[in-house]
Amino acid sequence: MNTLVIGKGGREHAIVQVLKKSSNCYCFPGRDGFDVQSLQTSHVSKAEDLVPEMKEKKIDLVVIGPEAELSQGWSDVFRSYNFSVFGPSQQASQLESSKIFAKEFMKRAGIPTAKYFVVQSLQDTLLQAKHFSPPYVLKADGLAGGKGVFICPDERSLKENAQKIFEDQIFGKAGEKALLEEFQEGTELSVFILTEGKDYCVLPLAQDYKKLHEGGKGLNTGGMGAVAPLNVGSEVWEDIEKNIVKTTIKQIEKDDLFYRGVLYIGLIQTAQGLKVLEYNVRFGDPECQVILPLLDMDAAQLFYDVAQGNLPSLKFNNLFSCCVVLSERGYPENPKKGELISSSLTKDSPTAYLLHAGTKKSKEGYRVDGGRVLNAIGVGLTKEQARKRAYALLDSFPHHLYFRKDIGDS
Ligand code: GLY
């Protein structure tokens, strides 16, 4: 089978790694460190630009990693040329690319979620805020590279952030509308399911460490690490499955949304019960990096089956995995590119390896080329063993890269 992975982060490297075990894998744009052939087409501004080379390479399956390409309808374009695609349609991708679309979907389905108002201006925001007490949650409607959610401790902060969205227009069109939401207190959980739009199968639960520093302190990031699987107990799981997962799939079918891929449901366990915080129409990054090593089956065939509208039963290996993200010291606010990574990046074994998230090859060696630079992955018989293996990879790492020391501790 010839497979193609769209994307260039640690998540896509993790997908490439499992696909290349049983397929001839290409990537676009990918990275040098992925160690597979990248499509050569240059000047790609739309999905169609890739089609001639995809035909020439006889691609059987395309896996689209990032939300941006899904929201631009790349899956629809590739399907229209008869490629099998793992990734939902543009219409279904609005579950992630429009927070208002997702809330209206949840409302129709009766899925528990925070109370909200759609707001379109600073005045509107301040007026509707009278229905809630602080802290206030303000979310830009569209995709904002993970930067569109503001937790505002008081009215002054709400005003500042509403000004940024509506008056400074820092998110452009993505911030023409926003959601003002009631703040939710509780423990967050990420659920990943594979679906063909009518039925689903469940992937292991993963825990993501979103804050920059140990103990959940500091700025929000895309994720500084993850562990899997996570055990939430059968009672909580039954609640999640009955009230969230099944209801979501039923509504996808009812709304006739074309969905073949992975759905990531962001949940929070509150004193009032489980609520959906968000839907994402792709794998989480770095959750993907800890979920895929737990699959005990041919991943290329699995993704192909889902792309064809078939759901196979999943097989897992009963192992644990841990991912520690190495970031550039300026991440997430101001990461700098270009510095040489003065360490060997070839310490691979099947249970301890590095994934490339933001690196670029140069004559002298790999250089930093993004905020999240590398992922150290450990796999083991216990969570502790997985964790030790991931951290052992970092023993001799250069101090100019940063990582949290407490991934997998709790
Ligand atoms: N790790 C969070 C995300 O991928 O959105």
The tens digit of pLDDT for each residue in 90-126 reads 999 999 999 999 999 999 999 999 999 999 999 999 9
Q: What's the pLDDT band for 348 if we cut at 50, 70, 90? A: confident
Q: What's the pLDDT band for 277 if we cut at 50, 70, 90? A: very high
Among 147, 280, 290, 372, residue to substitute to test ligand 1 (most atoms within 8 Å of Cβ): 280
Residue 396 scores a pLDDT above 80: no
Model pLDDT, residue 347 = 67
Give CA–CA dist 285/301, Å, rounded: 22
Query: How many angstroms separate the alpha carbon of residue 210 from the centre of ligand 1?
Result: 8
Query: How many angstroms separate the alpha carbon of residue 268 from the centre of ligand 1?
Result: 15
Cα radius of gyration (the chain)? 21
Query: How many angstroms separate the alpha carbon of residue 235 from the centre of ligand 1?
Result: 26
Q: Which residue, by CA, sits nearest to atom 2 of ligand 1? A: 284
Residue 268 scores a pLDDT above 70: yes
Cα-based distances in Å from 285 to 74, 240, 276, 377: 20, 22, 19, 13
The tens digit of pLDDT for each residue in 155-193 reads 999 999 999 999 999 999 999 999 999 999 998 899 999
Model pLDDT, residue 115 = 97
Query: How many angstroms separate the alpha carbon of residue 194 from the centre of ligand 1?
Result: 17
> In a 3-state reduction of DSSP, which class is residue 282?
coil
Average pLDDT over residues 256-269: 97
Residue 228 scores a pLDDT above 80: yes
Is residue 378 within 6 Å of ligand 1 at its C-beta?
no
What is the distance in angstroms between the CA of the first residue and the CA of the last residue of the chain? Answer: 40
For the chain, what percent of residues have pLDDT higher than 90? 95
Average pLDDT over residues 182-209: 95
Q: What's the pLDDT band for 273 if we cut at 50, 70, 90? A: very high
Q: What's the pLDDT band for 29 if we cut at 50, 70, 90? A: very high
Helix (H), strand (E) at residue 372: strand 372-380
Give CA–CA dist 320/227, Å, rounded: 8
Position in ligand 1 atom list of the atom nearest CA 11? 4
Residue 346 scores a pLDDT above 80: no
Position in ligand 1 atom list of the atom nearest CA 285? 4
Is residue 197 within 6 Å of ligand 1 at its C-beta?
no
Cα-based distances in Å from 114 to 184, 245, 267, 274, 381: 7, 17, 11, 10, 38
Q: What's the pLDDT band for 283 if we cut at 50, 70, 90? A: very high
Report the chain's mean pLDDT, rounded to a whole number: 96
For the chain, what percent of residues have pLDDT higher than 70? 100
Average pLDDT over residues 254-265: 98
Instruction: Report the greatest alpha carbon distance in the chain.
Output: 59
Query: How many angstroms separate the alpha carbon of residue 225 from the centre of ligand 1?
Result: 10
Position in ligand 1 atom list of the atom nearest CA 286? 1
Residue 344 scores a pLDDT above 80: no
Among 287, 288, 289, 324, residue to substitute to test ligand 1 (most atoms within 8 Å of Cβ): 287
Phi, psi of 24 (to 5 degrees): -90, 105
Model pLDDT, residue 343 = 75
The tens digit of pLDDT for each residue in 74-87 reads 999 999 999 999 99
Which residues lie below 8 Å from residue 375, measured CB to CB, with a gap of 6+?
Answer: 10, 13, 14, 286, 289, 323, 324, 325, 326, 354, 355, 357
Q: Which residue, by CA, sits nearest to atom 4 of ligand 1? A: 284
Selected residue with higher pLDDT from 27 and 395: 27
- 177: which 2 tokens? 């509308």
Q: Which residue, by CA, sits nearest to atom 5 of ligand 1? A: 284
Model pLDDT, residue 316 = 98
CA dihedral (152, 156, 160, 165) positive or negative: positive
